Each structure stands twice: as C-alpha cells, then as structure tokens.
Chains A and B, each alone.
Chain A
C-alpha cells in the first residue's frame, strides 16, 4: 500500500499494543475451495486500522488472508463486530487496507489507476444485507437494473432485453410484471432477488454477499441460498458468503473462515470446521446455535454453555487487547494466551486454527461434548 497509508498506521500505533501482534509465522493454508476452480482473487495479510480520534484507533482486521476461487463459496463467519464486513469492504475496494495486498487474476489491485480500478469495481460486486434499504424507493425495478447495465455493459443495444434476462436469471418471472414495480410492491425475498440481479448486471466474477439472507424469513432463506448456489455454479462466480449463521455455512460453503476480534481464528473445509471445531471460539459458536435436534436441551435444564456467560463481554474489536482476542472469554485460556496473540497454525493441509491450547481444545472431550 501507499506510504501514506502505512504512515497513518504507525501514527495510530499507541493503541495497537505491540504484544497484540500475532506471535509466530502464520500458516500457509491450502484453501478447501481451491479444488473448485482457478484462483480469482487473493488477499494477503490484510490489516485495517480505523482512527477513532486523537491517539485512539481500532484494528478492525488483522492479518487476514484468503483466496476466492471460480465457482467456489468461501464463508466468513463471526459475530457482529468481528470484522467480517470490513474484510468484504476491503475486497470490494470501498475501504483501503492499512497494509496487505489484494490481487485479482494475479495482478495487484491498483487504486491509483482510474480505469483499472473501475474495471475492478465492476468485476467485484457487493450484495447488501438489507433488501429494504438497499433499493431506492422512488425507482422501479427496471430502473435499478437498467442503470448498471448501461454503465457496465456499454455495448448492449437493447437494455430492456438485458434487464429481462437478468430478472429471469434470479427467477423473477414473468419479468415484464416486475420491471414496472417499485420496491414497496415486492416482498423481502423478491427485493433481495432484485439486489442479486443488480449485482449480476455488472457481469462480475466475484460476488461478495454480506449476510444476504439474515433479514429474510426462515421459510424464504433456503430458497435464496439455493438461488445463490445456482448462480455461482451457472455463472462460475467466486462467492464470498458472509454470515453469522454457521449452520448455513456448513451446507452452502466449501471453505469456512471463522473470525473473532478482527482475526481469522480458524479455517478449513466447511464440514470439518462445523463437525470438528478446533478453536474454542468456534466450539462456543456451534454450541450456542439453536439446534432443533437438541430438544429439552441445556436451556431448559438451566445449564449455560461454558464460556457463554464469562464476563458477558461482547467479542467486538475494542481497543486492541493484549494476547489472544478470545482469551477473556475462553474457558481454556492461560497466561500465555493472555500475553501472546497466536497466529494461525496448520492442523492439516487445508485446516488451521489460531490457538495456543489446541492440544486440549482440538482433542475430543471425554464426555463427547464439544
């Protein structure tokens, strides 16, 4: 990144305690999504520090590396404030990283070349969480889709045909019925389909979907995920799926990256991360998710998941903590955890976790619980 950016990072240094830096060489992980297709976009050691005021700063993203592959889904899972949306904004070019590099098709992203950056922005499209506020209430569906078509596909003569084709792609049929409609005439699911269509209008290769279904009703969610799944297969999109719902990531993603306090604390194939979580945070996340198969569960008997109540502190990125960001809530934390922040350690070629107590955490507990 530019000198300017790194300078502002060093000025912001006071709050970023030296010992908050990760200890150890971060593991080089072979992404579980790599088998799907060629690498499209790669982020290496992304860092983002926000200056909050004089002497105060917030490290929202620390040393995050990930790769997006053609036709593959990578899920970024974490609670609000874990930095997952900031990662997406960095990838989308909405925010500039404080340090670290993003490459697209092997070329570093150049924010200083207007032409190249515009091209990049059309290849990387963003779908927002809230279908109720991401569409303009005074414009029709047709207008929402015609604009990006004109902007990103200047060669297209018949814009109306292109818009119709987009609507059919997201299964808003018959398309003629929807072109003249206003957002308030559509249901939440239909609005989110329009958002998908709008993103596809730019003919992207990368789709960044930030909680695309969390505002929708449960009965609609699955259909939307199936639509996204179908689109990435048909159009060979590289998809980043951001969610706080780790169960949907299990079904939908090839690779899962779990974020906590701005860092990736665990990554690996979706099924393995959800079935055999190694990091204590991932374990807590999975144990906390409502589970219909867990009738008459811990809730009714009054037992609380271990760690859930500890300090009751939200895991947001506060002033840079010392040591592992999860140490204040972790049932396994010892002095080392509170002193040094662990880097990702390789567990298998495609699996890694950032934890000093992996020997204890990753081994199955005697009682068979997580």
Chain B
C-alpha cells in the first residue's frame, strides 16, 4: 500500500498569555490508501488538534510550529511527487479541500445549521466544491442520501426532525460529496447509542470498501478501534506513545498506557476480568515534563523514562515486522529480557 497522507514531525502549539500549550509534539503518522487508521486518545490529548493542524483548519492562537503534511493523492500530484499541505497557497488548498480530503465533524447535533433544510446544506457543499449545474447538483444530493441510507423523503427535513444517527449520516454524506481520497472522522459516533453506532460504523466500512477512500478515525474509545481500524495510533499529552496493527495493540500492547487503557473497560463476553484502570489524571500541557508524559501515572517508570526522547522505535517481536512501534524505553530488548514487564 502506498502512503496517501504522511504527517511528518508535526507540532502544534496554542499561544496563550500563560505560555505555549504544546498540544501536539513531533508526531509522525502515515495513512495508506484505502486504510483505516484509528487515532485514540483522551480528551485534551491533542488528537483533534493533530487532525485539524494537518489539514490547516486551525486558527490562531493555534500555530503549527514544525512539520510537513505530504498528500499523495493521484488527482493532484504531478509526476508522482506528493504535495505539502502546510506550504501550499490558500488557493491550492481550497481546491483540495473536500475534493481530496473531507472531514466528518464531531457532534452532528451542532455541525448542521438548524435553520436550513438538509437538502440545502448538502446542496451548498456540493455546489461550492463541485460547481455542478443546479439540476445535477440536486441529483447528486439525492444519490448521496441513498448512499448513506436516508430515504429521499427526508430531503426537505430540518436537522431537528432527524434522529442523532440520521444527522450523523447526513454529515457522512456531505463528506463524501466530492468523492474524496481521505476522510477524517472526528468522534463521528460518540454521542450515539451503541446500536446506532454499530449500524453507522458498518455503513462507513461498507462505503469505504465501495468508494475506496482512506479513513483517519479519531476517538477516545479504544475498544471501538480494535474492531474497526487496520492500524491504531495511541496518543497521550500531545505525543504518540504507540502505533501498531489492531491485532498487535490488542494482543501485545507495548506501552504501559495502552495496557492501562485495555484494562480499563469492562468486557461483556468471556470471564470477568480484574480491572485495574489508570490512576491519576493527564498532565498539564503548559508545563510539560521532560521525557515520557505518562511517567507520573506509570507503574513501571524508571530513571530512563524522564529523559527519553519519545521517538517511536520498533517493538521487539517477530523479526521482520516493523509496523509495531512504541515510545516506551522499557520495552527495548535489553530491558524486556530482564523481565521488567513480565
């Protein structure tokens, strides 16, 4: 698989009178074509800032302080060279938005305009990005609603007349209006019931299979990602702590934070497990600690942890498999052989 979106060394800070809040620190993340990558983190971990920073949707006081975001979609690249979203002109950026990279925003309750009919809002999106004649645009809107399983009869409905699940489907339809290559989904199902959530996720997977876009799925719910995502990136206090396939994250979590998360939700099936959770609360980003931000809550922390540079290194495992990376210094081969983690 070829990378379609490559985030390299991205840092984002919020300039505040009390000092910079370093919400995203030196993050590398790659999204391959047709892939679902899950970005998992607690509130305040910087997961949304990462996504919006990478697509230049942030406004001051947020500031991208370093990094590149290379987009390699075939429709814009000339001669196979990916383009950097962070340096392109506003004009170029505008032509890319929605056609190449679309976003399903968090909380469909607030993202739709309450005084406009669903049809008009979809028409807006279609016309501003595709410049179709009015008749064709209308047909397109109707097809989009078919795509996400909303009856055409609801075209003239106002957002408040739709259920939460339906509104979220409208948001998804809107994101798919211009047949994008990459769709960022920011907590698209968080406010929904589990039954509706599963229904929408299944729909998203089906649409992805048919239309072939790649998804960066942002959520705080790791259990959801384990089922949905091909690869998972775990974020904490602005840093990536671990990335790997869903299978690796579930079966061989390397970072103590990931293990804590996995041990935080009660399971429905199988025997009752002893749940441990994670004591403490996330750190203050205005005053970052040196080394690993998880140290104050980590039961395994050793001296090295306060000076580690937090770059991702392969987790020792099956030789040749380099997709499982972690920033935790304790799982380097020497230490794990001494049985620190066993």
Query: Residues of A with Cβ closer than 8 Å to B?
Result: 79-80, 187-190, 217-223, 226, 244-248, 250-252, 271, 274, 284-286, 288-300, 302-305, 308-309, 312, 314-316
Q: Are A293 and B267 in contact (CB under 8 A)?
A: yes
Q: Which of A188, A219, A246, A303 has the most B CB atoms < 10 Å from its CB? A: A219
Contact flag A300-B205 (CB < 8 Å), given A292-B222, A314-B164: yes
Which residues from A are CB-within-8-Å of B166?
312
Q: Are A300 and B228 in contact (CB under 8 A)?
A: yes
Which residues from B are CB-within-8-Å of A79?
193-196
B221 within 8 A of A: yes
Cross-interface CB contact of B277 among A226, A247, A302, cutoff 8 Å? A226
Q: Are A244 and B193 in contact (CB under 8 A)?
A: yes
A338–B272 Cα gap in the complex (Å)?
37
CB distance from B294 to the nearest CB of A (A): 11
Which residues from B are CB-within-8-Å of A189?
281
Name 9 interchain pairs, CB-CB below 8 A, sorted by A: A217-B220, A220-B42, A222-B275, A244-B193, A288-B194, A290-B227, A299-B205, A314-B163, A314-B193
Contact flag A219-B205 (CB < 8 Å), given A288-B197, A291-B267, A299-B227: no
Name the residue on B nearest A281 (C-beta). B195
Query: Residues of B with Cβ closer than 8 Å to A?
Result: 42-43, 149, 163-166, 193-199, 201-202, 205-206, 209, 220-224, 226-228, 246-247, 250-251, 260-262, 264-270, 272, 275-279, 281-282
Q: Are A219 and B194 in contact (CB under 8 A)?
A: no
Which residues from B are CB-within-8-Å of A305?
195, 198
CB distance from B37 to the nearest CB of A (A): 14
Which residues from A are CB-within-8-Å of B275?
222, 251
CB distance from B24 to the nearest CB of A (A): 18
Which residues from A are CB-within-8-Å of B205?
299-300, 302
Cross-interface CB contact of B265 among A80, A292, A308, A312, cutoff 8 Å? A292
CB distance from A108 to the nearest CB of B (A): 35
Q: Are A251 and B277 in contact (CB under 8 A)?
A: no
Contact flag A250-B266 (CB < 8 Å), given A299-B198, A316-B163: yes
A302–B279 Cα gap in the complex (Å)?
37
Which residues from B are CB-within-8-Å of A188?
43
Q: Are A284 and B195 in contact (CB under 8 A)?
A: yes
Q: Are B265 and A293 in contact (CB under 8 A)?
A: no
Q: Are A218 and B246 in contact (CB under 8 A)?
A: no
Q: Are A190 and B262 in contact (CB under 8 A)?
A: no
Given contacts A290-B227, A296-B227, A305-B195, 8 further A-B contacts (CB under 8 A): A79-B195, A217-B42, A221-B265, A245-B194, A248-B266, A288-B197, A289-B268, A299-B202
CB distance from B267 to the nearest CB of A (A): 6
Contact flag A292-B281 (CB < 8 Å), given A222-B264, A304-B202, A314-B164: no
Q: Are A274 and B268 in contact (CB under 8 A)?
A: yes
Contact flag A291-B269 (CB < 8 Å), given A218-B264, A219-B277: yes
Contact flag A292-B226 (CB < 8 Å), given A221-B264, A316-B163: yes
Cross-interface CB contact of A219 among B206, B223, B264, B266, cutoff 8 Å? B264
Name the residue on B nearest A249 (C-beta). B266
Which residues from A are CB-within-8-Å of B264?
218-219, 221-222
A166–B260 Cα gap in the complex (Å)?
29
Name the residue on A nearest B277 (C-beta). A222
Q: Are A250 and B268 in contact (CB under 8 A)?
A: yes
Q: Are B195 and A288 in contact (CB under 8 A)?
A: yes
Name the residue on B nearest A220 (C-beta). B281
A222–B121 Cα gap in the complex (Å)?
41
Contact flag A314-B260 (CB < 8 Å), given A219-B42, A290-B221, A299-B205: no
CB distance from A358 to the nearest CB of B (A): 21
Which residues from A are CB-within-8-Å of B269?
291, 293-294
Q: Are B227 and A295 in contact (CB under 8 A)?
A: yes
Which residues from A are CB-within-8-Å of B277?
219-223, 226
Contact flag A291-B268 (CB < 8 Å), given A217-B43, A297-B227: yes
Which residues from B are CB-within-8-Å of A247?
265-268
Which residues from B are CB-within-8-Å of A297?
227
A296–B221 Cα gap in the complex (Å)?
16
A94–B163 Cα gap in the complex (Å)?
26
CB distance from B113 to the nearest CB of A (A): 22
CB distance from B167 to the nearest CB of A (A): 11
Q: Are B199 and A300 in contact (CB under 8 A)?
A: no
Name the residue on A nearest B45 (C-beta). A217
Q: Are B198 and A292 in contact (CB under 8 A)?
A: no
A314–B194 Cα gap in the complex (Å)?
11
A314–B260 Cα gap in the complex (Å)?
34
Closest 5 CB pairs of A and B: A222-B277, A79-B193, A217-B42, A219-B278, A251-B266
Q: Are A312 and B267 in contact (CB under 8 A)?
A: no
Q: Are A309 and B199 in contact (CB under 8 A)?
A: yes
Q: Are B279 and A299 in contact (CB under 8 A)?
A: no
A32–B196 Cα gap in the complex (Å)?
30
Q: Are B262 and A292 in contact (CB under 8 A)?
A: yes
CB distance from B235 to the nearest CB of A (A): 12
Cross-interface CB contact of A295 among B199, B206, B247, B272, cutoff 8 Å? B247
Name the residue on B nearest A294 (C-beta). B227
Name the residue on A nearest B151 (C-beta). A312
Which residues from B are CB-within-8-Å of A217?
42-43, 220, 282
Q: Are A290 and B223 in contact (CB under 8 A)?
A: yes
Which residues from B are CB-within-8-Å of A222?
264-266, 275-278
A80–B197 Cα gap in the complex (Å)?
12
A292–B275 Cα gap in the complex (Å)?
14
Q: Are A290 and B195 in contact (CB under 8 A)?
A: no
Q: Are A190 and B228 in contact (CB under 8 A)?
A: no
Cross-interface CB contact of B226 among A252, A290, A298, cutoff 8 Å? A290
CB distance from A9 to the nearest CB of B (A): 27
Which residues from A are CB-within-8-Å of B250?
292, 295
A220–B262 Cα gap in the complex (Å)?
13
A312–B3 Cα gap in the complex (Å)?
35
Name the residue on B nearest A271 (C-beta). B272
Which residues from B are CB-within-8-Å of A271?
272
Contact flag A251-B272 (CB < 8 Å), given A292-B226, A295-B247: yes
A315–B222 Cα gap in the complex (Å)?
26
Cross-interface CB contact of A288 among B149, B198, B223, B261, cutoff 8 Å? B198
Contact flag A293-B196 (CB < 8 Å), given A218-B264, A221-B264, A247-B265: no
Name the residue on A nearest B206 (C-beta). A302
